[in-house]
Amino acid sequence: MKRFPPQKSLFILGSTYLAAMAFIFGCTKKNENKAPAPAESSAVATVHADWRQPETCLKCHEDEHKSWIGSHHADANRFVDTETDAARYGVGEFKDVAGREYRVSYEGGDFLISERNPDGDYLPAKATAVIGVTPLQQPLVEGERGRLQAHAMAWDPDEKEWFNVFGDEERLLGEWGHWSGQGMNWNSNCAWCHTTEYEKNYDPSKDSYASSWTHQGISCIACHSDMKQHVATIGRDDYEVPASSETRVMMENCASCHSRREELSEGGFEVGESFEDHYRVMLYDHPTAYFPDGKANEENFVWGSFMHSRMGHAGVSCMDCHDPHSATLKFPADSNATCIQCHSTGNLGATIVDLGTHSRHPIGSDGDSCVACHMPEREYMARDPRRDHGFTIPDPYMAKTFGAPDACTSCHQDLDADHLLSQFDKWWGDSDRVTDLRDRAHLLSDTWSGELESPEAIIARLKAEENPYWRASWLRMLRDFSHLDEVRDLALEYKDADQPILRDVAIFLLGTRADGLEHLQAAAEDSSRIVRMQVADTLAESPYLSEELRDEYNDYLQYNADRPSGALKLASQAASEGNIDLVKQYGELAISFDRKNAAIRYDVSILYDRVGLGKEAIKHLRIASAYEPNSGLYPFSIGLLLAGQGQLVKAVEPMQRALKLDPNEHRWWYNISIIQTRLGDLESARASLQKALDLAPQEPSYLQFMQQLSTGS
């Protein structure tokens, strides 16, 4: 938690937006001899030396090259061309499922996607590239200042039609998720995982990109290290065959793209490096990323789910199931062959499964499919079904209690949920594992909703857990209880753990405590960047950050300046230095990425207030309140700012309005009672303070103030 000088502001920078937007995707790789893409178009790859060319590898690795050609990796990103794309852009006018009108055309050598506005005019966007192969191909259209944007309209190569990847969801111009917004920006969100040796080259002072890369799609050098040396020395007498990479190294290379994570380094991940030295993976403390039963809800791109699973913990690797060159399964998807590699042999400690009896369904039926039950599909981008890699247990209880998707209820839609649950409980209801998973789901749900009143259940889970990813998740979910001694002791225990993800969360918890400085200073020398960046994030505005770590942290901030969270952190840093111009520059930059996001404007208003920009702060709070009219946070904050400016009379009205919206905020009742006292309205002050006491009867400051009001002192 950052600490700000209390005299500079009436309230501190809220975590409302920063916490929600911490996890991002897209990154860069270090590179040599690489030129930036020409200014007139960001969709131009760089000419490069032979060792970078997949054709060079073909000379010795013919089978692997044949597998790779035409794969999802090889064709992850491509330019538009007339042979492939002309027909689809000849479709003309059409409507999406929500009735919105579009037109695609090929005019004067340009591929255009045009969206009809309320005035009836078609607004064209020029498509220059495409990402994806199947089940959809998404055009990249040119934006301003070097941007490429992933358009909402995509081509379905099987159905031969255009469709909206957001379905009937309405995403408005100016919002983060609109196809023209920063959330759909290719340079920041897509490029590194769809090209090879990508460099973002974002300039926050101009809000512009000069992105470059060396190869369309994922080529050989994206996954194999030391290729320049390998090509230069092969065939020589002193050539040594490179040793096979360790499984963990190969998996972390997969994870660099197949994960939802925060980026920590400007230079980016290279093959053979530690994942945690460059990324912070999304854990289960995020309340919308996963369902309570453990399945992925939002797009989490496999790694987080997999490493929390029993299989990931047991040592199952990506390559056990997938061919890395063709990016396909090694065994047919419609058979159980992939799973019985371990579940018929006991390999890696797997439970032996009798396929004839385990599923309770006829052999060869959908209900007898391992992946149908334990890796159910969830549809993303309207037409992209993806299998869950949490390897969860199908249980109708989860669907009935938490609304989680469940294989049983999804398949047997003709049967009542209670009937399915009754049958399931007859088969598996007395299983210790089913009981345990249901208890875990309730604990996750209560924690995410803020209803958990004590940490005992989380601590018990943490102490019983062997998987370091689940340990990290449970430890992070103790943040609301970090003031307690037992949580401090756990953080102290894990700050020296072998796994960086555990040390990272331990330092996060210790950083919220007044007695944590000593441990943060020691962790500043940690071997893993994930831990060092946690230290730097906590001590960013203190004098305790070394110059070396501050420089590393600044690189991280500058690299992430094209995200609202990154721009907000830079604005906060500028505020601590008293640089009003930079506060405004980065504050407005953060807002520009998601103009209709009230939480961002709230955080910016706090920073503006810190540097004396009170009028601008109030302006953004009023806009935020207009976007979220049912929240009392914004009008109450306006009242606080007005009070801080000495405008006590004007402060009362927005505070009263806020309390009508959120009458259970006892601290707000206390605050307004203080203002009413200063205005001489003691009757109203006592009434407001009584509201605070009704909600928090044991709060010492409230009791003391009531005594003062009652005695008239």
Both tokens of 516, joined, read 């944590």
- Which of helix, strand or coil describes residue 322? strand
Give CA–CA dist 97/472, Å, rounded.
42
Q: What is the pLDDT of residue 507?
A: 98
**In the chain, what is the straight-line distance between the N-terminal and C-terminal CA atoms, in Å?**
37
Angle between helices 633-644 and 598-610 (to 10 degrees): 10
User: Three-state DSSP class for 127?
Assistant: strand
* Locus of tokens 């009028």: 615
Beta bridge partners of 114: 103, 124
DSSP H or E stretch at residue 378: strand 377-380
Q: Could you say which residues of the chain have pLDDT below 50?
A: 1-16, 18-48
Nearest one of 324, 319, 351, 354 to 336, comparing CA atoms: 354
95: phi > 0 → left, psi -120 to 50 → alpha, else beta; which? Answer: beta
pLDDT tens-digit map of 31-63: 444 434 433 444 444 444 589 999 999 989 999
- Write the pLDDT tens digit of every residue in 569-608: 999 999 999 999 999 999 999 999 999 999 999 999 999 9
DSSP state of 265: -
pLDDT at 1: 35
Cβ atoms of residues 621 and 634 within 8 Å: yes
Residue with tokens 């770590």: 549
Measured CA distances, 563 to 14, 24, 184, 309, 589 (Å): 17, 8, 12, 30, 9
Distance (Å) of CA 235 to CA 59, 221, 229, 244: 12, 19, 12, 19
Pairing of strands 322-323, 328-329: antiparallel
Token pair of 207 as six digits: 């809000």
* Dist CA 339 CA 353 (whole Å): 10
Buried b (16+ CB within 10 A) or exposed e, 515-527: ebeebbeebbebe
Q: Tell me what pLDDT residue 713 has.
A: 54
- Token pair 């088969």: residue: 427
In this structure, what is the dihedral angle of CA atoms 598, 604, 605, 608, given to the nearest 10 degrees? -170
The alpha-carbon radius of gyration of the chain (Å, integer) is 28
87 CB-contact burial (10 Å; exposed 0-12 / middle 13-18 / buried 19+): exposed
C-alpha distances in angstroms, 120 versus 113, 114, 116, 123, 695?
Answer: 15, 11, 6, 9, 54
CB atoms within 10 A of CB 562: 25
Instruction: Tell me the C-alpha distance between 140 and 157, whole Å.
Output: 16
How far from the centroid of its chain's Cα atoms is residue 674's Cα?
41
Nearest to 285 by CA among 469, 511, 80: 469
**Within 13 Å and on the Cβ side, how many CA atoms surround 555?**
15
Distances (CA, A) of 568 to 21, 532, 551, 696: 11, 20, 18, 33
Write down the pTM of the prediction.
Answer: 0.90
Spatial distance between the Cα atoms of 589 and 671, rounded to a whole number of angstroms:
32
- Beta bridge partners, 707, equal none
Cis preceding-peptide flag for 118 (omega within 30 of 0): no
Confidence (pLDDT) at 17: 54
Question: Backbone phi, then psi, for 271, in 5-degree steps?
Answer: -55, 130
Compute the mean pLDDT over every residue in the chain, rounded to the nearest whole number. 92
